[in-house]
Structure 1
Amino acid sequence: MTLNRQIILASRPDGAASADNFKLQEAPLPPLAEGEVRVRHHYLSLDPYMRGRMNDSKSYTAPQALGEPMGGGTVGEVVESRFEGLAPGDRVLGHGGWQEWSQLPGKAWTKLPTDDAVPLSYYLGAVGMPGVTAWVGLNEIIQPKAGDTVLVSAASGAVGSAFAALAKARGCHTVGIAGGPEKCAYAEQELGFDVCVDYRPHADAQSLSKALKAVCPNGVEGYFENVGGMIMNAVLPRMNAFGRIALCGLIAGYDGAPTAIDNPSLFLIQRLKMQGFIVSEFPKSWAPALKELGDLVKAGKLRPRETVAQGLEHAPEAFFGMLKGKNFGKQLVKLI
C-alpha cells in the first residue's frame, strides 16, 4: 500500500492566512480504476490565486473544499496507467494539488514533450499557466503596437518575466515594477526590461508615480496589473488616453480590505479600459502562447528564475512567503 502525504485546508482564514489553516495528513492510495492514471508529482505550483480560494466567498471559481487537499498545478511522472493515451514514464502536467501522488482520469493530464529543452518545472511557470496568463493579457487585452510603452507590476515573478520577453518581441518599451534592487537588477539584466522601478523606497502612490513618470516620459499605453493597492494608484495617472489595463491579480488586498482607487475619475478623463480576466477562459490562446513561450526559452530570450522549497511539509511556509513577495521568480515545491 502506498501512503500519500497531503496538505488539506483544515479551516478558513479570518483575516491573514496562517499555518493553522492547513493540516498535513497521510492517506492510502486506492486501487486504480479503469481510465485513471497514477502520477508521482515532482513539482507543485504555488500561485497567488490560491489565497482567494481559501475564502468562502463569491469568486470566479468555487472555494477550496474543507478537508480536501489544496488545489494546485503539478508536473510529474506516470507510474501506473489504465488509460490508453498515457503510459508509465510519461511526463505530465495537471491539477494534482498539494499532495505527493494523485489519481485522476487520464484525460485530466497533458502529456509533455520527452526532450529536455524545456525543464520540467517550467511547465508550471514560464511555459505554463503563468506564461499563458502574460500572453493573454498582453495580446488579447492590451494589444500593443511596436513603440508602445507597457508596464507590469510584480515584474520579476512568473507572469512578469514572461510578459517582458513577449512585450520585447513586439517592439514595446517595457517597464517593470518590483520590490528591491536585486529583483530590479534581475529584471533589467536577465529578463530584458528596459527599466525596472523599485517601489519599496516610496512611501505613497504619489512618490512612486513621480518615479514612473521619469522612466515613462511619453506615458503608458498598456498596464498588466498583478498587485493593486498603492501600485495601481501610482500607475493610473501615467496612463495615456485610451490606455488598456489587463487586470490579473490584486495581491495587495488578499489578506484584508482591498485598497480603494484614489482617483477613479481618471478612467473617464483618459477613457481607460480595464478588463479583469481568467486565463482558462481563453482556450484558443493556449496553443500559440505555449509555442511562443517555449521558443523564447529555447532561444535564451526568456530566462525565468525559480524559488524552490523542498518537501511537501514546507508548502504552507513557501506559500505565505510568496504572498509577501519573498520569492524570486516562480514559487515551486519540489516533491521528489
Structure 2
Amino acid sequence: MDEIRTGAGAGHPSRAGVVAVGREVRPVAYPRDEVRAADFRVVEVAVPRPGPGEVLVRNTWTSVDAALRLRLRERAPEGYFPAFPLDQPMDGIMTVGEVVESRADGFAPGDTVSHASGWRDYAVVGAGSQALGGVGALTRLDVRDTPPQAHLGVLGATGLTAYAGLFHVAELRDGDVVWVSAAAGAVGGLVAQLAKLHGHRVIGSAGSAEKVRHLREELGLDAAFNYKDGPLPDLLREAAPDGIDVYFDNVGGDHLEAALGALRTSGRVAICGMISEYAARGPSRGPGNLMLAVTKNLTIRGFRGSAHTHLLPEVRRRLGAWVREGRLPYRETVVDGLEQAPAALAALFRGDNTGKTLVRIDGVAHRENLGG
C-alpha cells in the first residue's frame, strides 16, 4: 500500500481505486539489543479495493509475540520466516478483523476472519494465502460463543503451539512431571493448564513474585518459583525433588541446562522458543551438560507451531470446549491503539505482560470511502 505524503506538491490518492485511508506500523531500524518503540513508525497509507479472489479486512485485534524479534534483524535465523524489510509493512503477524468488501468466494462483508497481515488498520488479503505455513491463511471464524481475539490466543496459533508441543512433540505420558518455563506467558500458561487438565504435576517458573502468585493461585500449578530468587538448579530441585519427565522450553540458556540436570531417564524436552537468545548478536551458548542427553536417554526436539497446522481444527474443537466449560481460563494483556504495538512488544521483553499480549485497534484514526 502506498504511503500518503503531505506538503507542497503532494497529491491525494485517486478515490476511484482507494477504499480507505489507514495506518500501518513499519520498522525503521533493527533493534541492537532491547526493542524500542523508536525503532518503528506509524504511517498513513491509501488502501486499495480488493481484486479478484481478495477481501478487504478492517482489522480489530492484532497479536504481539516474542518471536517477532527473530525477524527484526537483517537476517532471520536459518529455517525461519524472512526478516521484516525496513520501512515496509510487517507481513506475517496474526490478526483478527471484519470483512468490509469481498471479491472472494466464501467470504462476505461482516464475516469475522483471521489472517497474517497485522499491525495495520486494513489489509487486502488473498483467499488462497498460506501465510506463516498455513497458520495465517485467511479463515472465517465462528465467534458466537468466544470473543474474536481468542482466535489470536487460545484458539489460534498460540493454542496450536501449546497443544502440539505438549502432546505431539513432548508426547505427554501418564504420570509425567512437567516443568514449563515462562509459564505466565501466552504459550507457557496454556501448556501448564493443559498438563493440569490431564492430571499431571506441573511446575511453572516466571520472573516476578506477581507472576508466581498468578501461577499458584489462578492457574493452580503444583509448584511455582521466580527464577531470579537463587541458583536455578536449586530452585528447580526444591520444586521437583524427584525430578521431571518433560521440560517445555520457552527460554533456553540456563533454563535448558537446569532442565537437563533435573530430567529423569527417557525424559523429553520440547523447545518452543529461546527468548533469552532472541537478541543475541553472536553464537548462542549451548548447555554445558549436554552429555546428559546421552547418559539419560533424553529426547530434545525443537518445533514451530506452524509445522502442525493440521491440528488446528482439533485445537479449536477441544480447547474451545474447555474454554466454554470454564476449564481453561486464559489471561490477556490488552493494549489500546495500533500506534502502541511497538511499545507493547518492548513491554513484553521487559516481562510486563501476563498471558497473551494483544493490541485492540481503535476505529478512530482511519477514514473509509466505501461507496461504489
The equivalent residue for 1:87 is 108
The equivalent residue for 1:161 is 189
Shift of 1:209: 1.4
Q: Amino acid of the residue matched to residue 105 of structure 2?
A: E
The equivalent residue for 1:251 is 275
Give the SS at the match of 1:87: coil
Selected match of 1:55 from 73, 85, 92: 73
Give the SS at the match of 2:358: strand
Selected match of 1:111 from 118, 136, 140: 140
Structure 2: how far apart are the matches of 1:83 and 1:110? 12
The equivalent residue for 1:120 is 148
CA deviations 1:252-286 (Å, max 9, x no partner) are 11122544413222222212111111111112222
Q: Is contact 1:145–1:170 with CA below 8 Å preserved after alignment?
A: no
Q: Amino acid of the residue matched to residue 359 of structure 2?
A: V
Q: Kindly report which structure 2 residues correspond to 1:203-218, keeping only aligned pairs within 5 A, or say none.
A: 207-218=231-242
Q: Which moved more, 1:55-64 or 1:35-44?
A: 55-64
Structure 1: how far apart are the matches of 2:352 and 2:254? 18
Selected match of 1:276 from 299, 302, 306: 302
The equivalent residue for 1:32 is 50
Structure 2: how far apart are the matches of 1:95 and 1:86? 16
| Percent pairwise identity | 36
Q: Amino acid of the residue matched to residue 101 of structure 2?
A: E
Q: Is contact 2:34–2:346 with CA below 8 Å preserved after alignment?
A: no
Which residues of structure 1 form unaligned runs of 5+?
A: none
Q: Is contact 2:49–2:56 with CA below 8 Å preserved after alignment?
A: no
Q: Is contact 2:183–2:189 with CA below 8 Å preserved after alignment?
A: yes
Q: Amino acid of the residue matched to residue 155 of structure 1?
A: A
Structure 2: how far apart are the matches of 1:329 and 1:52? 20
Q: Is contact 1:164–1:192 with CA below 8 Å preserved after alignment?
A: no
The equivalent residue for 1:328 is 354
Q: Is contact 2:52–2:103 with CA below 8 Å preserved after alignment?
A: yes
Selected match of 2:325 from 299, 308, 320: 299
Q: Does 1:185 align with 2:219?
A: no
The equivalent residue for 1:285 is 311
Selected match of 1:75 from 80, 83, 96: 96
Q: Is contact 1:156–1:329 with CA below 8 Å preserved after alignment?
A: yes
Shift of 1:28: 0.5
Q: Is contact 1:145–1:171 with CA below 8 Å preserved after alignment?
A: no
Structure 2: how far apart are the matches of 1:152 and 1:101? 36
Structure 1: how far apart are the matches of 2:304 and 2:189? 19
- Structure 1-normalised TM-score? 0.94
Q: Amino acid of the residue matched to residue 64 of structure 1?
A: F
The equivalent residue for 1:64 is 84
Q: Which moved more, 1:244-253 or 1:193-202?
A: 193-202
Aligned residue pairs total: 331
Shift of 1:16: 3.3
CA deviations 1:11-30 (Å, max 9, x no partner) are 32333333332121111011
Structure 2: how far apart are the matches of 1:180 and 1:248? 21
CA deviations 1:91-125 (Å, max 9, x no partner) are 1111122101101113441111141x222111111
Selected match of 2:169 from 133, 141, 148: 141
Q: Amino acid of the residue matched to residue 270 of structure 2?
A: A
The equivalent residue for 1:234 is 258
Shift of 1:76: 1.0
Q: Does 1:6 align with 2:24?
A: yes
Shift of 1:34: 1.5
- Structure 2-normalised TM-score? 0.85
Give the SS at the match of 1:161: helix
Q: Is contact 1:145–1:172 with CA below 8 Å preserved after alignment?
A: no
Structure 1: how far apart are the matches of 2:143 and 2:192? 27
Q: Which moved more, 1:40-49 or 1:58-67?
A: 58-67
Q: Does 1:317 align with 2:343?
A: yes
Q: Is contact 2:27–2:88 with CA below 8 Å preserved after alignment?
A: yes
Shift of 1:232: 2.0
Selected match of 1:131 from 159, 163, 169: 159
CA deviations 1:9-62 (Å, max 9, x no partner) are 223233333333212111101122121111111111011110001122243221
Structure 1: how far apart are the matches of 2:143 and 2:289? 51
Structure 1: how far apart are the matches of 2:49 and 2:172? 51
Q: CA RMSD in A?
A: 1.6
CA deviations 1:150-176 (Å, max 9, x no partner) are 111110111112112221232211111
Q: Which moved more, 1:129-138 or 1:141-150?
A: 141-150
Q: Amino acid of the residue matched to residue 141 of structure 2?
A: L
CA deviations 1:77-98 (Å, max 9, x no partner) are 1111111211111111111221
Structure 1: how far apart are the matches of 2:31 and 2:38? 9
Structure 2: how far apart are the matches of 1:112 and 1:334? 18
Q: Is contact 2:156–2:312 with CA below 8 Å preserved after alignment?
A: no
Structure 2: how far apart are the matches of 1:16 and 1:189? 31
Q: Amino acid of the residue matched to residue 41 of structure 1?
A: N
The equivalent residue for 1:170 is 198
